[in-house]
Structure 1
Amino acid sequence: MALKLTTSYLEDSIGVFRYYKRLAEGAMRQVSDEQLYVSLDPEMNSIAVIVKHMAGNMCSRWSDFLTTDGEKPWRDRDCEFELPPQGREGLMGLWETGWGMLFAALEPLTEADLLRTITIRGEAHSVMQAMNRQLAHYPYHCGQIVFLAKHLKHESWRCLSVPRGGSQEFNAKVAAGEASQR
């Protein structure tokens, strides 16, 4: 993602969310349908389970974002870690639904909205605090997706950023204005 100089917290935050969404999607495109469901051990989650959890969290947090608690009564968090939908199409449908809820909630906001108070699990948060909470949560899980995909693809993994041994070439491209710095 090209770094865009901005003083807008909203614009920058939405850009960061989009960056991590693309990063995880780049990782998921590299794995087979079967590998989406691989768990490295019984205590770890597969990419599919992580996607299901993220989508559940996003739907709960971002639906009626400014007017209802971010932990909806209909959310079954425990279920998010069981039986993800089978097939890439269904899984990616969940993924897009969750991210769609996030962007639909954030894009209409103004800088003044950042100071509004919302609740998550009955606790008051400013809109900015709620966004920061998710800016920590979603990249954490996107990193897990990248880690799992990279592990599963090992030798055939295609780097999503600066490849090992490629820093000098990357820095030269940045200096020439040909590469993203972020």
Structure 2
Amino acid sequence: MNGTIFLKSAIQQFKDYKLLAEKTFAQLEDKDFHYNPDKVNNNLAVNITHMHGNMLSRWTDFLAKDGEKEWRRRDEEFEEQNLNQEQLLQLWEAGWTCLFNALESLHPEDLDKTIYIRTKPLTVLEAVQRQLTHYSYHVGQIVFIGKHIKGDQWQGLSVPKGGSKQFNEQLIQK
């Protein structure tokens, strides 16, 4: 495996998921970040505060310290913080900045190194994949809630239903 290609690909995938969520946020109002469809699911604000806390914990001193930092208060990430959209998006950016700073500092030879998350040993490659799947899961929740809130007003983020043929033809014509 080419480590440079893996790292470049992982960084791009993280950027793509970040953008999907941000395209969702752009369609919403401040109050929508606190809309909760039921008592079981997390609203957008909670998803953002959780991702922020996870990113700071996992990616701070990534190669040197366990990814579950002693200063993290995970349970509090799932409590409503009553933050407005601007404050939530500041947390969002801070988490992603921490992630990208850590990822962009890695070298291909780092991928085989061992790091720890909650004392569990993982290679750097495994840890990157673990976080990529974790964040894509939450971005999926964010998009789903955004679609639910907007209903018929939702502006699609990918190929529209029934539009595959036209989309593919446009790609071929380019």
Q: Return the alpha-carbon distance in structure 1 between the equivalents of residues 82 and 65 of structure 2.
A: 28
Say if 2:64 and 2:115, in contact at 8 Å, map to a contact too: yes
**Alignment partner for residue 172 of structure 1, among 144, 159, 169?**
169
Where 2:90 maps in the other structure, the secondary structure is helix
Where 1:124 maps in the other structure, the secondary structure is strand
TM normalised by structure 2 equals: 0.96
**Alignment partner for residue 42 of structure 1, among 35, 39, 45?**
39
Where 1:30 maps in the other structure, the secondary structure is coil
Uncovered stretches (5+) of structure 2, i.e. residues with no partner: none
**What value does the CA root-mean-square deviation take over the aligned residues?**
1.2
Q: Return the alpha-carbon distance in structure 2 between the equivalents of residues 7 and 162 of structure 1.
A: 30
Give the letter for the 2:149 counterpart.
Answer: L
Say if 1:85 and 1:91, in contact at 8 Å, map to a contact too: no
**Alignment partner for residue 14 of structure 2, among 14, 17, 22?**
17
**Alignment partner for residue 94 of structure 2, among 97, 105, 125?**
97
Uncovered stretches (5+) of structure 1, i.e. residues with no partner: 1-5, 178-182
Say if 1:114 and 1:127, in contact at 8 Å, map to a contact too: yes
CA shift for structure 1 position 84: 2.8
Matched with 2:131 is 134
Matched with 1:180 is none
The correspondence of residues 1-182 of structure 1 with structure 2, limited to 5 A, is 8-177=5-174
Bigger fraction of residues in helix = 2
Instruction: Kindly report structure 1 stretches of 4+ aligned residues shifted beyond 2 Å.
Output: none
Say if 2:50 and 2:74, in contact at 8 Å, map to a contact too: yes
C-alpha spacing 1:139/1:170, structure 2 compared with 1 (3 Å) = same
Q: Return the alpha-carbon distance in structure 1 between the equivalents of residues 89 and 23 of structure 2.
A: 13
